[in-house]
């Protein structure tokens, strides 16, 4: 059922059955504490005239029931004869809870009663072994979340609200929290968020405490996720009542400045956040109210509501976590629309509210971790709602928000990357790469944060390998590794200005990648990077499959073959864009099975349309996705053919409403006309909804389409224009809603994510791509740097490059590296005045010289033409008298022979 496992043997107080004195002593201690709390509450109550006198009821003069119940408890506590866990917690909690729920008590009295409950809870005398603990904990939560009190002054009101937060958090942290129902856990979170919202009109201290409590609650709840049994029975509906209720705050109370009328915790937000349905114990109604419209009057709907109600009444586990996480995701949807009103604190709303919501999400992911993938509903929320919101907030102008988004994505990569292949690709393509380059309008702060994020990912040892294997070697995906490596190498170049923080960050990213490869080069045998591709037995790339994605013996040659085909197709596509005939010739061997189709444009269009998956898509969404992949021609005849191919494919996969493909064609053409009419500034008289519906009468096999269906299409087009893809190279792709829907569709059918170990399976392939730009970038930074710390970073990079080049016998790379380093020694520059002093005063020259000799000594067997430069440095040092006599004589005697041997080596 997806609930928490009760841990047997955990007791609130470790009693000693054999020692009666010890047992009674602990009971006496509890009795003394409760007695003290009773005295504190009664003392505060007696300060008020209302409670200081007698309570008049009819002809009798009696004490008020609240005072009477406290006094009765005081008489009973010292007469308990049973062990602690056999005492019903409700017996000593009820009098305090009655005070808390009473609307006759003022804030000071309610505050003391809350403190008493908190003190009792923190004694850890209540655990899952206590008698009647479930009813007691539910009674406790209902009382605290239904707290009522009279407001005497703003300060005392804030104190009570802070104590409510304190008690609710203590409830979740107590050993008996596993007994709480899913519904009550949701109610606790709901109440805490209401106080967070109210705190916006009060003091900053209350606001910060409320938000801190919210974070702690989320961490406490999701820390249990690894202990929850795997289940498929999370909430069956994906909706979230809390999110809609919070959206209602904006409609009902746009300023958020209304004060509590009588201190009732439930009074202001009952209609928005809490349900008063007694069947749900006055809880938040997370399930029932959210399903009313869909289930009323239908027997199956009633059964669904009953099932959800039963599920929420069970001990807390996955169902409440799904609801809470869905709520957290919804905060990112409505956060821009919640009006917080005038506030006295100095927190910036534009950044603060999104940061708060993102922080809650991050806490849930940190604590839930990889266990999220064991629960389909939670995983689905991460893959769709959460990641889509992260994509939107990632493009925020706030560097703080971008930084938090990047931290969340890094956590998601660490815990759930096997389930987020396409989402990660989209994030890097549409957010990070878009912001990290100044020519796309990002501020310097955004560029810096984006570059920091790239470096953080590069420091994950297997990140680049997995990006290369899963994306660069997938024909349907972008070249994420190549794009990121190019970004780093280009960003490290200081062109016409001194080194900045971005240059240093880019250098750190490159060094992290190279050092990771260098470390892996010693982990086992290195496989050859030669691609064995038998084109005579060519299999269409869309049909290629790997026998075992977990075995490197299978997936390594598989991804190399796909990378080879992808590279050839990209070259062919580039040629085709310039000359179609040359493009086809360059790819003929790869697409020989389609040669006959390519000779005719029309069959190719249908084959192209057949590559789309429109299943379960709305017509306008499918049409957007289709038209975003190419530029629609202007001629009506060509538009007709394009729409015919689309309509045939759409009807083939989604025939539910449309009678035939002709209906799909006519409606698609009508949508194109509507799009032009509504979004073309030259059209003065716009088409109305009635015009659109009238234009589409009798197109569905002679019948009319449902009015609601056409109305939804009309408003969708009016609100969101259909845009075709921009000119190539204009900008990085934008993640439109239709593209996101397509991404989610593809992710469900995607090949398994390849998880790399710490073996150098693809390092040679990757190093061949980035070695040249990397050496150049490190060299330029080394040349422009002025601090020895940066010198050492560059030297570490040079040594890592040398190790990798030697490991893969890349003599050309090693020669280029040696030549580059020798230039920095200043020994080969004859124009230097007083060369001995210059060499001695230049730490860069000395470090370069030492590095050259270290590489020559360690990897000399793989150096070819670079030996000339090494020997020239040695001879120069000898000429300057900087070598010892023995080294100088050996170098002078062997230099001519050694040089001749090196030059004779093929």
The CATH number for 727's domain is: 1.10.1000.11
Confidence of residue 2 (pLDDT cuts 50, 70, 90): low
Q: Which residue has the higher pLDDT, 893 or 716?
A: 716
Q: Is 729 left (phi over 0), alpha (psi -120 to 50) or beta?
A: left
Domain that holds residue 85: 27-50+63-228
pLDDT of residue 894: 56
pLDDT of residue 838: 79
Q: What is the pTM of this model?
A: 0.79
pLDDT of residue 116: 94
Q: Cα 344 vs. chain centroid, distance in angstroms?
A: 33
CA–CA dist 359, 372 (Å, integer): 18
Q: Please say if 15 is a catalytic residue.
A: no
Asked whether residue 538 is domain-assigned, the answer is no
Nearest partner of 382 among 342, 424, 348, judged by Cα: 424
Report the range of poorest mean pLDDT among 523-532, 558-567, 680-689, 744-753.
523-532
Query: What is the tens place of the pLDDT at every residue in 479-489?
Result: 999 999 999 99
Q: Is the pLDDT of residue 378 over 50?
A: yes
The answer to whether 235 touches 377, Cβ cutoff 8 Å, is: yes
pLDDT of residue 541: 62
Q: Which residue has the higher pLDDT, 382 or 23?
A: 382
pLDDT of residue 654: 80
Token pair recorded at residue 876: 């120069």
Q: How many residues does the chain have?
A: 906
Asked whether residue 203 is domain-assigned, the answer is yes
Report the range of poorest mean pLDDT among 142-146, 377-381, 791-795, 881-885.
881-885
DSSP 400-447: HHHHHHHHHHHHHHHHHGGG-HHHHHHHIIIIIHHHSSGGGT--HHHH
> Cβ of 828: how many Cβ atoms within 10 Å?
14
Report the range of poorest mean pLDDT among 585-599, 763-777, 851-865.
585-599
Query: What is the tens place of the pLDDT at every residue in 172-198?
Result: 999 889 889 999 999 999 999 999 988
The C-alpha angle 870, 780, 833, rounded to 5 degrees, equals: 60
Query: What is the tens place of the pLDDT at every residue in 691-728?
Result: 999 999 989 888 889 999 999 999 988 888 887 655 44
Q: Which residue has the higher pLDDT, 110 or 352?
A: 110
Domain boundary among 228, 261, 278: 228
Report the range of poorest mean pLDDT among 460-469, 519-528, 638-647, 836-845.
519-528
Q: Is the pLDDT of residue 11 over 70?
A: no
Q: Is the pLDDT of residue 239 over 90?
A: no
Q: Which residues pair with 4 in a beta bridge?
A: 228
pLDDT of residue 228: 80
Q: Cα 197 vs. chain centroid, distance in angstroms?
A: 24
Phi (first) and psi of residue 82, to 5 degrees: -95, 170
Question: Residue 181: CA atoms inside 13 Å, Cβ hemisphere, count?
Answer: 25
Report the range of poorest mean pLDDT among 56-65, 618-627, 803-812.
56-65
Q: Is the pLDDT of residue 851 over 90?
A: yes
Token pair recorded at residue 654: 């989604």
Treating both helix axes as pointing N-terminal to C-terminal, what angle do 154-173 and 133-145 enclose, rounded to 10 degrees? 160
Q: Which residue has the higher pLDDT, 750 or 145?
A: 145
Alpha-carbon separation of residue 714 from 401, 575, 635, 639, 782 (angstroms): 35, 41, 24, 20, 60
- State the DSSP H helix or E strand holding residue 56, giving kind and residue range, or none if neither: strand 55-57
pLDDT of residue 55: 52
Q: Is the pLDDT of residue 373 over 80?
A: yes
Token pair recorded at residue 29: 């201690």
Of residues 530, 635, 786, 789, which has the active-site annotation? 635
Asked whether residue 202 is domain-assigned, the answer is yes
The answer to whether 844 touches 822, Cβ cutoff 8 Å, is: no
Q: Which residue has the higher pLDDT, 589 or 564?
A: 564
Q: Is 749 helix (H, G, I), strand (E, B) or coil?
A: coil
The answer to whether 391 touches 383, Cβ cutoff 8 Å, is: no
pLDDT of residue 593: 42
Confidence of residue 566 (pLDDT cuts 50, 70, 90): confident
Domain boundary among 199, 228, 257: 228
Maximum CA pair distance of the chain? 126
CA–CA dist 117, 506 (Å, integer): 55
Query: What is the tens place of the pLDDT at every residue in 744-768?
Result: 888 888 889 999 888 899 999 999 9
Asked whether residue 224 is domain-assigned, the answer is yes
Asked whether residue 762 is domain-assigned, the answer is no
Phi (first) and psi of residue 56, to 5 degrees: -95, 125
Question: Which residues, other chains included, contact 880 with Cβ-Cβ below 8 Å and sequence gap of 6+?
Answer: 827, 835, 836, 839
Alpha-carbon separation of residue 807 from 487, 528, 760, 801 (angstroms): 26, 11, 11, 10
CA–CA dist 282, 291 (Å, integer): 17
The answer to whether 605 touches 642, Cβ cutoff 8 Å, is: yes
pLDDT of residue 142: 93
pLDDT of residue 881: 83
Number of compact structural domains in the chain = 2
DSSP 343-388: -SS---HHHHHHHHHHHHHHHHHHHHGGGGGGSHHHHHHIIIIIHH
Q: Is the pLDDT of residue 343 over 60?
A: no
Average pLDDT, the chain: 79
Q: Which residues pair with 317 in a beta bridge?
A: 3
Question: What b/e string do you get for 640-656 counting C-beta neighbours within 10 Å, with b at 16 or more?
Answer: eebbbbbbbbbbeebee
Mean pLDDT: which of 203-212, 265-274, 605-614, 879-888 is highest?
203-212
Would you give the DSSP letter of residue 61? Answer: E
Q: Is the pLDDT of residue 898 over 80?
A: no
Nearest partner of 568 among 597, 531, 598, 518, judged by Cα: 531
Phi (first) and psi of residue 700, to 5 degrees: -95, 70
Nearest partner of 198 among 245, 253, 243, 242, judged by Cα: 253
Report the range of poorest mean pLDDT among 233-247, 672-686, 708-722, 786-800.
233-247
Q: Is the pLDDT of residue 340 over 70?
A: no
Confidence of residue 251 (pLDDT cuts 50, 70, 90): very low
The answer to whether 463 touches 457, Cβ cutoff 8 Å, is: yes
Nearest partner of 130 among 222, 139, 163, judged by Cα: 139
Question: Which residues, other chains included, contact 333 with Cβ-Cβ below 8 Å and sequence gap of 6+?
Answer: 243, 385, 389
Q: Is the pLDDT of residue 596 over 50?
A: no
Tell me the average pLDDT across 642-657: 87
Tell me the average pLDDT across 621-648: 84
pLDDT of residue 891: 53
Write down the residue that tokens 């005849």 correspond to: 637
Query: What is the tens place of the pLDDT at every residue in 417-432?
Result: 999 999 999 999 999 9
Q: Is the pLDDT of residue 405 over 50?
A: yes
Alpha-carbon separation of residue 119 from 22, 166, 171 (angstroms): 22, 10, 11
pLDDT of residue 382: 96
CA–CA dist 233, 231 (Å, integer): 5
Tell me the average pLDDT across 157-186: 93
Q: How far apart are the first and last CA of the chain?
A: 71
pLDDT of residue 19: 47
pLDDT of residue 524: 60
Q: Which residue has the higher pLDDT, 572 or 216?
A: 216
Q: Is 115 helix (H, G, I), strand (E, B) or coil?
A: helix
The answer to whether 782 touches 791, Cβ cutoff 8 Å, is: yes
Report the range of poorest mean pLDDT among 392-401, 746-755, 878-887, 895-904.
895-904
pLDDT of residue 36: 92
Q: Is the pLDDT of residue 466 over 50?
A: yes
pLDDT of residue 350: 63
Please give the share of the chain, as a percent, with pLDDT higher than 90. 39
> Cβ of 683: how many Cβ atoms within 10 Å?
11
Asked whether residue 131 is domain-assigned, the answer is yes
Q: Is the pLDDT of residue 597 over 50?
A: no
Confidence of residue 509 (pLDDT cuts 50, 70, 90): very high
Alpha-carbon separation of residue 429 from 22, 479, 767 (angstroms): 66, 9, 22
Q: Is the pLDDT of residue 338 over 50?
A: no
pLDDT of residue 190: 93
Q: Which residue has the higher pLDDT, 49 or 195?
A: 195
Would you give the DSSP letter of residue 78? Answer: G
Q: Is the pLDDT of residue 612 over 90?
A: no
Alpha-carbon separation of residue 156 from 40, 164, 698 (angstroms): 17, 12, 68
pLDDT of residue 439: 64
pLDDT of residue 636: 79
pLDDT of residue 432: 93
CA–CA dist 462, 762 (Å, integer): 11
Asked whether residue 701 is domain-assigned, the answer is yes
Task: Name the H helices within 468-532.
Answer: 480-491, 501-520
Token pair recorded at residue 707: 């009015």
Output the 3-class SS for 566-622: HHHHHHHHHHHHHCHHHHHHHCCCCCHHHHHHHCCHHHHHHHHHCCCCCCCCCHHHH
pLDDT of residue 53: 58
CA–CA dist 292, 273 (Å, integer): 16
Confidence of residue 684 (pLDDT cuts 50, 70, 90): confident
Domain boundary among 209, 228, 247: 228
Asked whether residue 870 is domain-assigned, the answer is no
Report the range of poorest mean pLDDT among 326-335, 369-378, 459-468, 894-903.
894-903
């Amino acid at each position: 059922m997806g609930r928490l496992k009760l841990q047997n043997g955990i007791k609130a107080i470790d009693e000693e059955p054999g020692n009666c004195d010890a047992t009674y002593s602990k009971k006496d201690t509890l009795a003394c504490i409760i007695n003290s709390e009773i005295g504190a509450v009664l003392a505060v109550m007696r300060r008020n005239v209302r409670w200081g006198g007698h309570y008049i009821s009819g002809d009798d003069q009696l004490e008020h029931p609240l005072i009477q119940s406290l006094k009765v408890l005081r008489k009973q506590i010292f007469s308990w004869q049973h062990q602690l866990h056999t005492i019903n917690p409700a017996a000593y909690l009820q009098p305090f809870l009655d005070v808390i729920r009473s609307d006759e008590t003022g804030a000071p009295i309610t505050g003391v009663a809350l403190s008493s409950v908190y003190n009792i809870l923190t004694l850890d005398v209540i655990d899952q072994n206590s008698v009647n603990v479930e009813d007691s904990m539910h009674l406790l939560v209902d009382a605290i979340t239904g707290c009522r009190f009279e407001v005497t002054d703003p300060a005392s009101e804030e104190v009570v609200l802070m104590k409510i937060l304190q008690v609710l958090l203590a409830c979740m942290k107590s050993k008996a929290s596993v007994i709480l129902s899913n519904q009550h856990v949701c109610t606790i979170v709901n109440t805490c968020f209401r106080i967070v919202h109210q705190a916006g009109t009060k003091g900053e201290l209350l606001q910060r405490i409320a938000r801190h409590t919210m974070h702690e609650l989320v961490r406490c709840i999701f820390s249990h996720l690894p202990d929850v049994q795997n289940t498929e029975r999370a909430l069956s509906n994906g909706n979230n009542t809390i999110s809609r209720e919070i959206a209602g705050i904006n409609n009902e109370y746009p300023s958020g400045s209304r004060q509590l009328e009588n201190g009732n915790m439930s009074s202001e937000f009952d209609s928005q956040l809490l349900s008063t349905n007694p069947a749900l114990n006055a809880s938040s109604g997370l399930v029932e109210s959210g399903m009313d419209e869909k289930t009323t009057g239908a027997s199956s709907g009633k059964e669904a509501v009953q099932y959800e109600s039963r599920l929420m009444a069970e001990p807390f586990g996955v169902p409440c976590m799904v609801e809470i996480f869905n709520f957290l995701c919804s905060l990112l949807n409505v956060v821009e629309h919640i009006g917080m009103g005038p506030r006295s604190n100095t927190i910036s709303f534009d950044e603060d509210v999104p940061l708060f919501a993102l922080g809650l999400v991050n806490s849930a992911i940190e604590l839930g971790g990889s266990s999220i993938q064991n629960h389909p509903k939670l995983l689905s929320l991460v893959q769709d709602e959460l990641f889509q919101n992260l994509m939107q907030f990632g493009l925020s102008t706030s560097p703080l928000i971008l930084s938090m988004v990047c931290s969340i994505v890094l956590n998601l990569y660490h815990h759930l990357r096997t389930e987020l292949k396409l989402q990660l690709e989209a994030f890097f393509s549409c957010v990070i790469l878009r912001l990290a380059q100044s020519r796309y309008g990002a501020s310097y702060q955004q560029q810096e944060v984006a570059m920091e994020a790239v470096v953080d990912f590069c420091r994950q040892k297997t990140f680049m390998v997995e990006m290369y294997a899963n994306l660069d070697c997938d024909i349907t995906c972008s070249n994420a590794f190549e794009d990121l490596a190019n970004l780093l190498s280009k960003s490290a170049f200081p062109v016409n200005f001194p080194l900045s923080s971005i240059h240093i960050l880019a250098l750190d990213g490159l060094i992290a990648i190279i050092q990771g490869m260098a470390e892996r080069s010693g982990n086992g045998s290195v496989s050859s990077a030669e691609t064995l591709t038998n084109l005579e037995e060519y299999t269409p790339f869309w049909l290629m499959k790997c026998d075992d994605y977990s075995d490197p013996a299978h997936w390594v040659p598989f991804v190399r073959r796909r990378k080879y085909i992808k590279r050839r197709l990209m070259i062919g596509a580039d040629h085709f864009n310039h000359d179609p005939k040359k493009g086809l010739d360059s790819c003929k061997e790869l697409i020989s099975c389609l040669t006959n189709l390519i000779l005719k444009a029309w069959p190719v269009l249908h084959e192209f349309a057949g590559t789309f998956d429109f299943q379960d898509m709305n017509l306008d969404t499918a049409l957007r996705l289709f038209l975003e992949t190419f530029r629609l021609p202007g001629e009506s005849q060509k538009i007709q053919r394009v729409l015919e191919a689309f309509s045939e494919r759409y009807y083939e996969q989604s025939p539910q409403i449309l009678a035939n493909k002709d209906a799909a064609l006519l409606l698609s053409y009508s949508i194109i006309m509507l799009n032009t009419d509504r979004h073309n500034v030259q059209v003065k008289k716009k088409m109305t909804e009635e015009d659109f519906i009238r234009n589409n009468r009798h197109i569905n096999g002679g019948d009319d389409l449902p009015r609601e269906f056409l109305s939804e299409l009309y408003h969708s087009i009016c609100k969101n224009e259909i845009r075709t893809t921009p000119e190539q190279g204009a900008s990085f792709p934008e993640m439109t809603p239709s593209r996101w829907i397509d991404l989610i569709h593809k992710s469900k059918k995607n090949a398994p994510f390849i998880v790399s170990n710490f073996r150098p399976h693809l390092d040679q392939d990757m190093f061949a791509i980035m070695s040249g730009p990397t050496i150049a970038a490190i060299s330029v930074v080394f040349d422009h740097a002025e601090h020895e710390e940066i010198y050492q970073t560059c030297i570490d990079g040079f040594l890592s490059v040398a190790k990798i080049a030697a490991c893969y016998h890349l003599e050309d790379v090693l020669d280029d590296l040696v030549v580059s380093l020798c230039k920095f020694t200043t020994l080969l520059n004859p124009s230097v005045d007083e060369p001995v002093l210059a060499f001695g005063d230049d730490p860069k020259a000395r470090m370069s010289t030492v590095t050259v000799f270290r590489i020559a000594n360690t990897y000399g067997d793989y150096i070819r033409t670079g030996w000339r430069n090494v020997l020239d440095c040695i001879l120069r040092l000898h000429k300057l008298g900087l070598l010892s006599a023995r080294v100088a004589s050996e170098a002078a005697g062997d230099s001519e022979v050694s040089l001749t041997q090196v030059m004779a080596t093929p």
